[in-house]
Amino acid sequence: MTETQTDYTKIGIGTKETSKLKPAKVKILGVEIKTKTNEGKEMKSPLANILVKHPDKEEEVKLSKIKCERNGKLEVVTLWISLDDEGKFQKSSALAELMRFLKVMTLEELSGKDVETIEQSKEDTYLCIKAY
């Protein structure tokens, strides 16, 4: 084992809980388009990460899902980028849903908008954008 490696066999159990961000109103700082997986492979569909400033966290937070109403029920949908044959965001996509909800025509116009966040579900407490 090198000096920079940790010997995980000698580590005990911690006493600190991980901090969970609570749903809150956040400000959109911008949009980051992810085109490669964490392993560096090209993704089939790019992913839109909405960069927000949460009041309880100093660093920016990336949100890649929205909760919206579809067919009379609430669904959590990932912000995949899918284009139609005219090169525009598909009308039925989650990204188009978010843009319509916030009344913007381009992703660039999302910057500076205030939005509410919400837990994805009781079981999955990660935050997503509330778009309904």
Q: Give residue-wise pLDDT tens across range 80-119.
A: 999 999 999 999 999 999 999 999 999 999 999 999 999 9
Nearest C-alpha neighbor of 116 from the set 75, 70, 68, 77: 68
65 DSSP β-pair partners: 78
CA 53 to chain centre: 12
The torsion angle over the Cα atoms of residues 90, 62, 27 and 44, rounded to 10 degrees, is: -10
Q: How far apart are CA 52 and CA 130, in angstroms?
A: 13
As a whole number of angstroms, the distance between CA 95 and CA 113 comes to 15
* Three-state SS at 10: helix
Distance CA 34, CA 110 (A): 17
pLDDT at site 16: 77
pLDDT for 17 equals 72
What pLDDT is recorded for position 5? Answer: 74
